[in-house]
Structure 1
Amino acid sequence: MSVIRTDPLTGLTTIFAPERAKRPMAIRDNAAREEFDQELIDSDPFAEGKEDDTTPELYAVRNSDSQPNGPGWSLRVVDNKYPALTPVSDPDSELNSFGVHEVIVECPHYETHISRLELSSFQNMFVAYRERLAVHRQNPQLRYALIFKNQGVLGGASLGHAHSQLLASQIIPEALQHEVDAVQRQHKEYGESLFEKLIHDPSTGYSALVTSTDHFDVICPYASRFAFETWLIPRSRNAHYDQSNADELTDLATLSRRLLRTLEAILGSHDLNYVIQTAPLQAGDEEEYTWTLRIFPRLAHLAGFELATNMSVNPVFPEQARDLLRKQLETGAD
């Protein structure tokens, strides 16, 4: 039987239709195909030794004896050569599209799935995110920043080499503003955090919690848009990702790597997106918002219904996803 749910934070609606899971899913063969053909490796612009194929690095994790924009690095951050936003501000333009679009290259070798990277790569990556966001939060022209990863064809990736992106703009998207407003409304009317309600909602009886660590709660949201959608919420309830300390980022690296590997143990090789949604850059902690890391496994294309209605159809109830993830994590078979 189908069930319709609306997320209290995002305001987005999902139709849970378990019968849809019985459809043939030939697209999974596409996600699981072997991706390491020599032509892709040879043409990889992010590989070590091809630093001239990118813009000059903005940040890097390097061997002490290496030189900027040369080999000897573990992670590099560069400006996107094909930015979505204009990197130079034009104050006379009525439609000012000034913004920042950076690429975080997560390893020096060709690798398509982030789950296959070593823990040190995850640690470098999450520190790099913090450092770059902290830089852009100092720019008063910028009001919004997003970290996101596109992995695989269904995830929208144009290059296979493991990388993520940072986009910062003068515009706060309506989706984030809706979340901020919902959080503030919940606090004003009920004196409580909406993020606590996401974890356990007394009005529905739904408990989203998969597991907790010293620094994070892991949940499968009540109105998950995608099968096995999983969120990491910092227990500090910090508004800004760049407020994260070293212990939190170490925990985040270990936990996110384990979750991604656990999802692969359940779903097999698959495409995905993840995003780090953080408060508007100039927002203060008093706005009650909490940053989150949201993982979206991509097992099928978005289709006409989703595009026309901005609603999602999900064949897997979050209760099922939560229980399977919890069991897999408890067995340690990740």
Structure 2
Amino acid sequence: MAASPLSLNAVRDADLIASGHRVFEIEQAELDRVGNRLGAEFAAACRLILGARGRVVATGMGKSGHIARKIAATLASTGTPAFYVHPGEAGHGDLGMITEDDVVLALSYSGESDEVLMLLPVLKRQGNPLISMTGKPQSSLARAADVHLDVNVANEACPLALAPTSSTTASLAMGDALAVALLDARGFTADDFARSHPAGSLGRRLLLHITDVMHSGEDLPSVREDASLSEALLEMSRKRLGMTAIVDAQGRLAGLFTDGDLRRALDTDLDVRTVGIAQVMTRNPRTIGADQLAVEAARLLETHQINGLIVVDAGNRPVGALNIHDLLRAKVV
């Protein structure tokens, strides 16, 4: 039967906030309890997965299925190939997705889920190592497993003790613990993570290099050190980056002139039509190498409160330029 709508005046904000606080308090206490039980079985589960030639196949029904799906996704993104198989669908053909080289991670808080237990004879016959995650160490699933991970909780956060709350949180945390322990054991790095997340903001931040976002060749604003200010302004106008590099006779970077430098020059008595660029340029400007990451350019701009950078080679010769708008377009910042 659908719940009757409540009058908003009948519910106090303080009561709603208090209910939320109770959930956090209960679940934090249960997470501490489950975490304190980590021991040899957890290490054995990690070793089973590390020694497998195949993937981790996570499975579970209902809320446990949702948690299993998330654990599989976390494992896959942190260096442990994994996927989720619905136990109901597995009994109707999807078992063919599981090879003899795979490790099966089965979740069921009761340890008695019929759909999961139905798979055990086939998995045992095929020789798949089985890791179970239950809240009942004496359950059928726990006893059938090669390794059992105990996620038993004393209290659900649901006041009726009906909706899985603390128990699903504990299972999720156990899955995260597995993923991170395996990540550490494999020496998985931030670059490895980025390669599996190329479309995400973290992937862009970790994979994009300066060469991917800089303006180079004909698009690089540059004038000689003996140029006039008016020539530099014309170059800035053509290249539309709000700055230009100033180079010496050998092509090395001698300075930088920006929109900000122009505003400061206009506050003086200088004649912008006749003054040389060398008189008003910024000497020894901040630069960056082409082989560095784009995120390092973003950090430099933020730290020094500047809007653009000249990219130089090992001989301090300008090879590119970029500004904050280039990083924004690349979604690095």
TM-score over 0.5 (shorter chain) = no
Q: Kindly indicate which of the two structures has a greater share of residues assigned to helix.
A: 2
* Structure ranking higher on relative contact order (CA contacts 8 Å, 6+ apart): 1
Q: Kindly indicate which of the two structures has a greater share of residues assigned to strand.
A: 1
User: Larger radius of gyration, structure 1 or 2?
Assistant: 2
Q: Give the TM-score, by structure 2 length.
A: 0.23
Q: Give the TM-score, by structure 1 length.
A: 0.23
